[in-house]
Amino acid sequence: MKKIEAIIRKSKFEDVKKALHEVGIDFFTYWDATGVGRSTEKMIFRGQAIDTSKISRTMLSIVVRDHNLQKTVDAILSSARTGELGDGKIFISDMEEVYRIRNGEKGPEALFIKGEEE
């Protein structure tokens, strides 16, 4: 099992969510995140200076079985990309174990509902 963490532009969230659903990834967690980037350009908006060094993004956390890893990463890459600086990052790490709290089921089977497996 793998854990995928992706930092994406807020404006691309709906596109990414749709792409994930299209490849069968129907459950993930997300939240608003703020980071600091290299760019320190200042913008003027309606006479007010805006500091762009603080970047608002959306963070996704998805745990998948190994055979779903590449299609999940590809869905994020294709739907989150604008081709401009600041599109985000994807991080992948190993998951040792997962448990379904409701019934104590563990392992990769805890990640899907029986009867809905591909």
Q: How far is residue 50's CA from residue 74's CA, in Å, rounded to a whole number?
A: 34
Class of CATH domain 2-111: alpha beta
Q: Residue holding tokens 């985000």?
A: 88
- The tens digit of pLDDT for each residue in 55-111 reads 789 999 999 999 999 999 999 999 999 998 888 999 999 999 999 999 999 999 898
Sheet architecture: strand order including 54-64: 29-36, 54-64, 2-9, 88-94
Q: Would the pTM of this model clear 0.75, i.e. be above it?
A: yes
Cα dist from 40 to 3, 37, 75, whole Å: 31, 8, 30
Q: Are strands 29-36 and 42-45 parallel, antiparallel or unpaired?
A: unpaired
Average model confidence (pLDDT) for the chain? 88
Structure tokens at 58: 């959306």
Q: How far is residue 52's CA from residue 50's CA, in Å, rounded to a whole number?
A: 6
Structure tokens at 40: 């320190």
